[in-house]
């Protein structure tokens, strides 16, 4: 009889599997909450020192979420401003990028054009001695930045040493709501090719793209390049709105599906397009993620344009921000999204990724075929594979070291202190004499200038010493080490062609602001130039 009742219970469980699953899930959750509470109570009662509750609980929450996916994160109340910056690229402040060495004052590196900092005369090279009376020499860069930020309409007071006159002045600045635009540049590359550089997908960026389109049409645009390289994504609805500019109303752009069967949703264009015929080129790379992949995937699947560059990052997960206790926020992954052909852009797993986090090599045997609107074959497995792959230029280890260690920034600040102006952007080039000045400056700076080969040699030598083999190869290693030696000055001069574009771009930004930096970058953009040459031969 017992067996009969047990069988009936099992059958009931099969029939109502969802509720049993829910009960099991809730039971496990309750069990672990009870265990955690018991541990905390016992620690609070018995631990030998004062229990750092905030620190260990924050660490515990972070560790818990890290076991899910890289994008589900907890944002406490005090970091809500950072969340707003993430979602909308807006913050309350003075509108300037700062540079901070540990034992030095804060230096204005780049004021945004039209910002409170710019309107109050702050320029590249100005030193901030105090912020509201607090000396900046003892502050970290983040603490200095946090003190400059604040509620729009409030005032922050600075004591400033001016870059060129070296006069010390008091400057009071009323903070404003600062918005960093997602559309970094709109312009013509030649007589017929329009170009829009887009860096994010925050609120209303689609309106900026729309405005940029009409501006370029007035200038004679016959084809459009939408540059999404390095664009890490943002709001999904903005991606849909951008696609809607170029495809018929009612077109499927993306679909999403969560854990429950009824969470499947389709997102279609709801507005009339501005142009369904203009040739489109969408530039992508391994830094193009999330909403960038929605745009690229839709344009590719609908056969509306050519995707060019390198395979995208491979982030096909949808996040939703949920309010939680004590004014915190949980940015939680709630679904996966799919391109119009049915592909999931999410990488098959997180373990096979490149150093930059983008999806690594996925063999075709692990992927599936899908068809575009015109019957072309595309595959899933992670990211959007371009219709035409175009390699990006590679840079030496020296260049990365100069950029990441702030050597170029320091040089540009010094240059700005010594030069009132630079030539007009169209004719501006770093002269040979100025590059020699940079070499002299860089020689005085501490940074790792080893070549990639020398770095690998040093690692190999350490391994040989660890294995006890270096002694037997002493002469050979010494000879190889001597052959690889190169003076810092000579190595910088050897890599001049790589370094000069970075210096020119940073100088252009300091004197002519952000758009000028993009224009200089385009001057040296070999990947884009190759893509434009190949685009004419591609038929979609």
**452 vs 447: CA distance, rounded Å:** 14
**520 vs 426: CA distance, rounded Å:** 9
Query: Would you call 500 helix, strand, or coil by DSSP?
Result: helix
- What are the structure tokens assigned to 317, written together? 């997960």
Q: Which residues are catalytic?
A: 290, 301, 315
Beta-carbon contacts of 354 under 8 Å, excluding residues fewer than 6 positions away, are 286, 360
**125 vs 507: CA distance, rounded Å:** 12
**13 vs 18: CA distance, rounded Å:** 9
Beta-carbon contacts of 330 under 8 Å, excluding residues fewer than 6 positions away, are 72, 73, 74, 75, 321, 322, 323, 324
Query: Would you call 385 helix, strand, or coil by DSSP?
Result: coil
CA distances from 300 to 65, 283, 521 (A): 34, 12, 27
**Residue environment code for 244-254, b if the CB has 16+ CB neighbours within 10 A, otherwise e:** bbbbeeebbbb
DSSP string, 206-236: HHHHHHHHHHHHHTT-SEEEEE-TT---B-H
Of 296, 317, 314, 390, residue with least CA distance to 351: 314
- Whose tokens are 């072309």? That residue is 376
- What are the structure tokens assigned to 104, written together? 């030095």
Q: Residue 126 has what DSSP assignment?
A: -
φ/ψ (deg, to 5) at 333: -75, 120
Beta bridge partners of 318: 335
Question: Quick one: how many helices (H) and strands (E) in the chain?
Answer: 18, 21
How many of the other CB atoms lie within 10 Å of CB of 187? 17
Query: Would you call 173 helix, strand, or coil by DSSP?
Result: strand
**406 vs 102: CA distance, rounded Å:** 13
Q: Alpha helices of 366-468 — where are they, by DSSP H?
A: 397-404, 407-418, 432-443, 452-466
DSSP string, 291-345: HHHHHHHHHHHTT-SEEEES------EEEEEEEEGGGEEEEEEEEEEE-TTS-B-
449-450-452 Cα angle (round to 5): 125
Within 13 Å and on the Cβ side, how many CA atoms surround 302? Answer: 26
**276 vs 372: CA distance, rounded Å:** 17
């Amino acid at each position: 009889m017992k067996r009969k009742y047990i069988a009936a219970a099992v059958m009931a469980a099969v029939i109502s599997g969802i509720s049993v699953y829910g009960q099991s899930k809730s039971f496990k959750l309750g069990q672990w909450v009870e265990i955690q509470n018991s541990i905390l109570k016992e620690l609070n009662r018995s631990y030998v020192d004062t229990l750092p509750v905030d620190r260990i609980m924050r660490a515990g929450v972070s560790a818990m979420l890290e076991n899910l996916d890289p994008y589900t994160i907890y944002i406490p109340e005090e970091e809500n401003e950072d969340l707003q910056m993430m979602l909308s690229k807006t913050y309350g402040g003075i509108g300037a990028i700062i540079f901070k060495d540990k034992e030095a004052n804060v230096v204005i590196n780049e004021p945004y054009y039209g910002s409170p900092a710019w309107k109050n005369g702050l320029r590249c090279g100005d030193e901030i001695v105090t912020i509201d009376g607090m000396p900046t020499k003892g502050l970290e860069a983040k603490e200095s930045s946090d003190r400059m930020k604040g509620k729009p309409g409030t005032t922050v007071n600075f004591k400033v040493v001016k870059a060129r006159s070296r006069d010390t002045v008091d400057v009071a600045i009323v903070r404003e709501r600062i918005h960093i635009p997602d559309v970094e540049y709109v312009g013509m590359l030649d007589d017929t090719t329009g170009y829009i550089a887009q860096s994010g997908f925050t609120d209303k960026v689609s309106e900026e793209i729309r405005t940029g389109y009409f501006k370029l049409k007035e200038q004679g645009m016959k084809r459009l390049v939408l540059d999404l390289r390095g664009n890490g994504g943002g709001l999904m609805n903005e991606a849909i709105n951008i696609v809607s500019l170029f495809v018929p109303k009612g077109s499927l752009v993306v679909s999403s599906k969560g854990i429950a069967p009824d969470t499947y949703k389709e997102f279609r264009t709801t507005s009339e397009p501005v142009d369904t015929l203009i040739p489109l080129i969408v530039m992508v790379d391994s830094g193009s993620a999330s909403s960038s992949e929605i745009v690229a995937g839709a344009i590719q699947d609908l056969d509306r344009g050519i995707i060019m560059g390198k395979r995208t990052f491979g982030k096909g997960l949808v996040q939703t921000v949920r309010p939680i206790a004590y004014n915190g926020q949980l940015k939680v992954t709630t679904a996966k999204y799919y391109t119009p052909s049915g592909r999931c852009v999410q990488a098959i797993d997180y373990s096979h990724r490149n150093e930059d986090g983008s999806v690594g090599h996925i063999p075709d045997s692990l992927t599936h075929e899908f068809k575009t609107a015109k019957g072309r074959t595309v595959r899933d497995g992670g990211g959007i594979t371009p219709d035409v792959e175009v390699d990006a230029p590679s840079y030496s280890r020296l260049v990365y070291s100069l950029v990441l260690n702030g050597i170029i920034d320091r040089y540009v600040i010094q240059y700005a202190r010594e030069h009132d102006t630079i030539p007009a952007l169209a004719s501006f080039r770093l002269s040979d004499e100025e590059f020699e000045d940079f070499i002299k400056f860089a020689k005085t700076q501490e940074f790792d200038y080893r070549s990639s080969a020398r770095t690998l040699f040093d690692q190999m030598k350490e391994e040989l010493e660890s294995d006890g083999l270096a002694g037997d190869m002493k002469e050979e290693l010494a000879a190889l080490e001597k052959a690889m030696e190169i003076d810092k000055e000579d190595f910088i001069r050897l890599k001049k062609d790589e370094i000069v574009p970075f210096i020119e771009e940073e100088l252009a930004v300091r004197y002519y602001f952000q758009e000028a930096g993009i224009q200089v970058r385009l001057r040296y953009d070999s990947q884009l130039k190759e893509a434009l040459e190949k685009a004419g031969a591609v038929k979609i």
